[in-house]
Structure 1
Amino acid sequence: MSLRMYLRNVSDSQRIEALWEAHCNQMADFGFDRLLYGFTRYRTDTSLGDPEDFVILTNHPREYTDVFLSDSHYFHAPMVQWALQNEGAKSWQHIAEVMRSEGLSPQARAIYEFNQKMNVTAGYTVSFKSVSARSKGAIALTAEPGMSQEDIDAVWEKHGNDITLMNNIVHLKILTLPYNTPSRSLTNRQREALEWVGDGKTTQDIAMLMGLTSATVEKHLRLARENLSVETTAQAVLKAAFANQMFILDL
């Protein structure tokens, strides 16, 4: 698929699932058969936030993600650490450079050895420009089995600018599409009540607009707060807005 046609398809995508499938197929054409995208809006100096709030997209098998994404193992991965401190694209040759120069921590070495076992050995990481001090997004592009880092570096030499552009555009598109996990999902009534709060309506106003009692509106707002793991309705509105779960035509 040409770059122009690909970017047009990305622009027209309305659902994150279809966008991700198309992106995986496009990256596979360059030799990257496994992708892992992650984004957080809740980064601090010592944490990336609650994993339940991450946007995680991947086509890695479960036997890989169940380990890599559990117990914050990902936080110690050498290329994740690089992505947190940098922007742009980086060859995984960087890992070998770190091993030669300063070595890996025990946690990082454990992740490195697990990746070797799972044939996650060659690839590139693209770290995206942050939209705020607390946000960070990156994607790991894993080369298909049998390709060495030298092989995929040669592909990048030829197509790296286009690959970087495609991933940056997909990242920006993902930020505009609704995304939720089962533990963070809202019902239609909860979403509607939050939308009216976002419009500045009182509980009494919302009750009249939704044809409900004030007590029922309060119940919907309470359940929305619980589902989003926040303490106040204002925080619920903000978190739902971050996940693009408000003022949408269809979810």
Structure 2
Amino acid sequence: MTRNLRRYLIEMTNAPSIEEMWALHTEVMAEYGFDRLLYGFTNFRTQHSLGDPNDFLILTNHAKEYMDGFIRQGFFSDAPMVRWALENDGAESWRRIAEIAAGNDVSPNMMKVIEFNRAMDVTAGYTISFASVSPRSKGAIALTGKAGLSQEDVDGIWAEYGTDIIVMNNVAHLKILNLPFHVTGRSLTKRQLEALRWVGDGKTMQDIATIMGLTQATVEKHLRLARDALDVETTAQAVLKAAFQNQMYLVDR
């Protein structure tokens, strides 16, 4: 028995952290037959690239072996459904992959990704590409069917529950966009965040030093460490990146 949609929406919208909402979402999607999920989002997309993978927000419950190949070895850049997601919004059956593989225009790199997925039993599922709010951002989620399910089985699940599944994933995506997250593996300290907030408010270095009760040199040190943690060159870029990650104005719990 799948979870009631209203119950899911209440639990999801009340989730206080990405960790808790992701645990809930993976549990519910497994109830529908999708036990391996891969969510990706970037705010740094360019015309010809998804940007630096270090700036991606990745959420998954796939095995480490799969992620090592798909993300760390760069297979994602040639994955058929990733390319589809970049050019489309909405949901699409992985039946499209079989159609691409049977065609004459499939590249060697794309075929390598298809064969990798087959070897890892990632063969039946759906991809949902979320509508972007800007040309620099893109988010999508790949829902992999449980082992033993064929694409025909998955399409049957989608025919019955697809609308609810799309609603749930849209809500999960919007929830993620409103929760703080880290993509560099290095969190900002409270002092670094406070200094960035005052810069964002237009304060000078001297103003910030007075407000924070520090020397100007110490403020500059906090800002330098914030730039290092966020892997950017300027403080303005650090403010922008911290804002993109919803870290600028957190409420202490």
Q: Please, what TM-score do these two structures have when normalized by structure 1?
A: 0.97
Aligned to 1:114: 116
List alignment gaps of at least 5 residues for structure 1. Answer: none
Aligned to 1:28: 30
* Structure 1: distance between partners of 2:19 and 2:114: 29
Aligned to 1:17: 19
Aligned counterparts, 1:131-210, within 5 A: 131-210=133-212
Aligned to 1:85: 87
Over the aligned positions, Cα root-mean-square deviation in angstroms equals 1.2
Contact 1:34 1:141 in 2 (8 A): yes
Distance 1:79 1:241, change over 3 A: same
Secondary structure of residue in 2 paired with 1:124: strand
Secondary structure of residue in 1 paired with 2:250: coil
List alignment gaps of at least 5 residues for structure 2. Answer: none
Q: Deviations over 1:214-245 (max 9, x none)?
A: 00001101111121121211111010000011
Letter in 1 for 2:230: L
Tell me the CA shift for residue 182 of structure 1. 4.7
Letter in 2 for 1:176: N
Contact 1:52 1:184 in 2 (8 A): no
* Structure 2: distance between partners of 1:26 and 1:230: 37
Letter in 1 for 2:148: G
Tell me the CA shift for residue 103 of structure 1. 4.0
Aligned counterparts, 1:37-48, within 5 A: 37-48=39-50
Aligned to 1:242: 244
Tell me the CA shift for residue 80 of structure 1. 0.5
Q: Deviations over 1:48-97 (max 9, x none)?
A: 11111111000000010011101321010011011011000000000111
Tell me the CA shift for residue 206 of structure 1. 1.0
- Residue of 73, 93, 96 corresponding to 1:71: 73
* Structure 2: distance between partners of 1:46 and 1:71: 19
- Residue of 4, 7, 11 corresponding to 1:5: 7
Tell me the CA shift for residue 212 of structure 1. 0.6
Tell me the CA shift for residue 185 of structure 1. 2.1
Identical positions, percent: 61
Aligned to 1:50: 52
Aligned length: 251
State which drifts further: 37-46 or 84-93. Answer: 37-46
Secondary structure of residue in 2 paired with 1:101: coil
Q: Deviations over 1:130-165 (max 9, x none)?
A: 110111100000000000000010000000000001
* Structure 1: distance between partners of 2:75 and 2:246: 28
Contact 1:52 1:183 in 2 (8 A): no
* Structure 1: distance between partners of 2:51 and 2:184: 18
Aligned to 2:233: 231
Q: Please, what TM-score do these two structures have when normalized by structure 2?
A: 0.96
